[in-house]
């Protein structure tokens, strides 16, 4: 990265490379971007497990003794 600046109100990075020797890219498109509030929408482990169980029930594989659940222990 050669430098950072604001262009039209957005953080922009000037990088070395490209046909003209440099190129500009929005900081939001890189790993330098500030975390966004959408990260709060990531699934927690319990929510992910619930989603898996719901998916299995919708597919019809959620019943006891299902062939699709070999090796899965169920708690009563």
For the segment 9-59, what is each residue's pLDDT rounded down to a tens digit? 989 988 887 677 888 888 888 878 777 766 555 667 888 888 888 888 888
> Which domain covers residue 12, as residue numbers?
1-27
Of 1 and 20, the one with more pLDDT: 1
How many domains, in total, are found in the chain? 1
Can you give the pLDDT at residue 47?
81
Residue 3, in any domain of the structure: yes
Residue 9, in any domain of the structure: yes
Lowest-pLDDT choice from 21-30, 55-64, 65-74: 65-74
Residues in Cβ contact with 24 at an 8 Å cutoff, skipping those fewer than 6 apart: 7, 12, 13, 14, 15
0.75 exceeded by pTM: no
């Amino acid at each position: 990265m050669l430098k950072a600046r604001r262009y039209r109100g957005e953080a922009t990075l000037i990088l070395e490379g490209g046909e003209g020797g440099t190129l500009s890219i929005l900081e939001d498109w890189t790993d330098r971007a500030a975390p966004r509030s959408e990260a709060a929408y990531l699934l927690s482990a319990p929510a992910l497990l619930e989603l898996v169980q719901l998916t299995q029930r919708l597919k019809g594989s959620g019943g006891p003794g299902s062939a699709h659940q070999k090796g899965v222990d169920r708690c009563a």
